[in-house]
Every structure is written in structure tokens, then in C-alpha cells.
Amino acid sequence: MRRLCLMVLAAVLVLTGCVERRVFERIGLVVALGYDKGPGSRLSGTSVMYTLDKESGHRATILSNQAYTTKKLREDQNRKSSKKLMLGQLRVVLYEEAIARDGLIDLVDSLIRDPSIGTKIYLGVSTEKTADLLQYPYKSISNIGTYLYDTIKQNVLEGQIISPTLHEFLRDYYSAGKDPILPVFIRKGETIASEQTALFQSDKVVGMLSNSDAAYLKLIRNRFKAGTFELKLDKKKLEPYLSENNEDRREHIHTVVRIVHSKKKIRITDRGKPAYDLNMKLKFILEEISAGINLTEPEVIRTIEKLVTEEFTKKTESVLAKMIELKTDPVGFGEIYRQSLRGSTLTKSDWHDKMSSMSVDVHLNMELLRTGVVE
């Protein structure tokens, strides 16, 4: 009897394995989606589909079409495909900048309404047609969908870009006092790069920050674990400490600093205006400096700390000024304002109007821990 049971169990496992294999060979896993403006009021959609074939093994297929809704886009693409399209492995969704400037919430909501799509997928904006970016015949990229996902993931982990998940976009969109941000992608030859960050007012792109400026936004917005910054320091202020054989005639000394610890506190000081104090304590490593300089002297360290603090303050104030000018709040100053008022009914629109008179005083305390490379 025991032997019979084992034989039946083995048969069930074999049959189950066969069924799963046949099903997998009949489906196409969509790993990336792109949405562009189509003619008239239509939407143009591009899907990167990952399939398993007996003959060719794993391969990526690109499908494109036009419709008025995302559901119709997928239905029409399904008719073109020999595999049933499934969104359970979706990793990245890109939106053409022209669409993002008109508003993304309807398209983003269509993702969250699909139970097969996780909230940890990445979103992004493309300065060109997403169809062109996704369909380009890259020589060394076999699956553009997984390549994009891996690129975004490693840049998020390294602190190069701010995490752009579906969950984070919706959290910031539905917050009365905060706005979303997304990375901006462009094709550069045979690769894809992110060199800007899109600033949103509600669900509409209203401006861009270079990634170097966005790093300061990340510093204000999140607890910063690590990240590098390239700075220009006034050479005249370091002149007394330069080595005698230094013949560099440039006006500035270029440095690379890495933030290894940050602590911030934002305090509202005037609800009427509104006005804030932004206090940050930062610890950094001097990884590189483009001049011969004696870094063992305490006076040199203090001077460098002062110059780096001045540059960080200037850059931070510049980024905040641009935010206020565009009336976009990716930091969440509006949430601090809302929490300071008992029974507040602040709306996103109310907060954007108030931002025109907003001000932020920046106070930085920076400590140099150790030095790295000196040219």
C-alpha cells in the first residue's frame, strides 16, 4: 500500500511539472512598458515581452500599438502575440515627457488597479519617445526591460538617484503636502542613462533638476547613507596651504567628497509666511582634491570644512529656490506645515499656492572625517 501511494505521488508530481512547463511556454512575461502621446487623443504603448521558446530559449519581443486606454492597448497587443501577455513580472514603466507634463495619475492608477502588478516596480520619464528608447537595436543589451530595472536598482542602492517605485510615487501624490519625483532617461549611443530628475506638481512635470543638483535634494529629502559630490573650492582661500611645486593656474580646486552620515531637522518658524529652518549635520570624507596640499594640519582641515560647508549651503539654497519658484514640494515642507495646524484641511492646491511666499533658512554643520586621494 505504501509503495502504491509513493507511485501515485510521483506520478502527480511529474504530471504537475509537465503542466507548468507547457503553461510557461504559452505566456509572454511583460517586463517593461512605455507610454507615448499618439495622434489625436490616442495613447501609444510599447511592451517588452520576455518569452521562453524550445528552439531559441529566452528572448525579448517588442510590441507596439495605439488606443485610447491602457486596457485596449494590452488587448490589441495580445492579439498580435503568439503568447498570452502577463504583467506579473513587470519591472519598469516609462512615460514620455510630453505625457508626464499633461498628468500621469490616470495611467499610474491603471497599474495599481491590476492585482498582478506589484507596488515596487520602477517608474521613469523619457525625454524622447519611449517606443524609440525601448525598440532601439542595442548591440549588447538582450532584454532592455531587465537592463533598465537593473540600472535603476543599482543606482538607487548606490545613492545616485532617488528611489522611483510605484508605491513612493502614489504616496507622495496623495500626500497633501508633498509631490513626487521621477528619474529621467535618455538613450546615449548603445546605453541608457539618467542625467536628470523630473519635478512634479501633483501628477504633472513642471521642471527638471540635473542629477548633481538632485543629489542635494536627496540629502534634504531622505536619510542619506552614502553619496559623492564634486565641488569647486576657491583656490585663493587655500593658497597658503598649497605645496610649493603646485603650478595649476585654475581659479578653483576641484574636490570629491563622500557623505557618510547625515542628520537633518526641519522646523517651522513662521506659519503665516510659511518659513522654516533646515538644520543638517553631515560627516564626509575627502576622497580627492586636485591640488598638492598638506592635509595633516588642523588649520587646513578647518578651512576645507568651511569651504565645503559654504558650497553645500549655496547648492542646497539653489535647489530649494528652484522648488519654490516651480511650486513643487518633493521634500514635504507642506506635511510639516499641515501637522503644525490642529484640524488642518490643507489641500495640495492650497499648499502650492502658499509656496509662492515660502522661505527656508539653511544651516549646515559639516565634519571632515578623513582624506582619500590627493593629486
DSSP 362: E
pLDDT in tens, 209-261: 998 999 999 989 876 666 789 998 888 887 777 766 555 556 778 889 999 88
pLDDT score of 20 more than 80: no
Cell output for 77 = 497587443
- According to the model, what pLDDT value does residue 243 have? 67
pLDDT band (50, 70, 90) for residue 78? confident
**Which residues are CB-neighbours of 6 under 8 A, at least 6 positions away?**
none
Span 123-168, pLDDT tens digits: 999 999 999 999 999 888 888 888 999 999 998 888 888 999 999 9
Q: What is the pLDDT of residue 337?
A: 94
Q: Could you give the CA distance from residue 32 to residue 25 in angstroms, rounded to a whole number?
A: 19
**Maximum distance among all alpha carbons in the chain?**
93
Give the list of residues 6+ apart from residue 55 with CB closer than 8 angstroms, or none.
none
| Cis-peptide, bond into residue 330, ω within 30° of zero | no
Average pLDDT over residues 80-85: 74
* Separation of alpha carbons 62 and 143, rounded Å: 10
Q: Going by DSSP bridges, is the β-strand pair 252-270/227-234 parallel, antiparallel, or unpaired?
A: antiparallel
Give the pLDDT confidence score for residue 59 in this predicted structure: 61
From the list 174, 218, 209, the residue with the least C-alpha distance to 326 is 209
Lowest-pLDDT choice from 9-18, 22-31, 252-261: 9-18
Please tell me the pTM assigned to this model: 0.86
How distant, in Å, are the alpha carbons of 84, 231, 262 from that of 226? 43, 16, 9
DSSP 109-146: HHHHT-TTS-TT-EEEEESS-HHHHHHS--SS-S-HHH
pLDDT bucket at 369, cuts 50 / 70 / 90: confident
Q: Radius of gyration of the chain from Cα atoms?
A: 26
Angle in degrees, CA 140, 141, 143, rounded to 5: 155
- Strand pairing class (84-86; 27-37): parallel
Over 70: is that where the pLDDT of 122 sits? yes
CA dihedral 112, 114, 115, 120 (to 10 degrees): -40
Locus of grid cell 495580445? 78
Closest CA to 164 of 134, 121, 127, 201: 121
- CA separation for the pair 72, 245 (Å, rounded): 70
Is 14 exposed, middle or buried, given 0-12, 13-18 or 19+ CB atoms closer than 10 A? exposed
| Plot region of 300 (φ>0 → left; ψ -120 to 50 → alpha; else → beta) | alpha
Tell whether the model's pLDDT for residue 12 goes beyond 90.
Answer: no
Mean pLDDT of all residues in 333-348: 88
Average pLDDT taken over every residue of the chain: 85
> For residue range 29-54, what is the model confidence (pLDDT) as tens digits?
889 999 999 998 899 999 998 766 55
- Residue 208 near residue 151 (C-beta atoms within 8 A): no
Residue 84 scores a pLDDT above 80 = no
Q: Quick one: pLDDT band at residue 321, thresholds 50, 70, 90?
A: very high
- Residue 2: pLDDT band with limits 50, 70, 90: low
Bond preceding residue 298 cis, omega within 30 of 0: no
What's the rounded mean pLDDT across residues 108-120? 91
**Predicted confidence band of residue 375 (pLDDT cuts 50, 70, 90):** very low
Nearest in space to 126 (alpha carbons), one of 154, 98, 156: 98
Asked if residue 15 has pLDDT above 50, the reply is: no
pLDDT one-digit tens code per residue, 250-297: 677 888 999 988 899 999 999 989 999 999 999 999 888 877 777 778
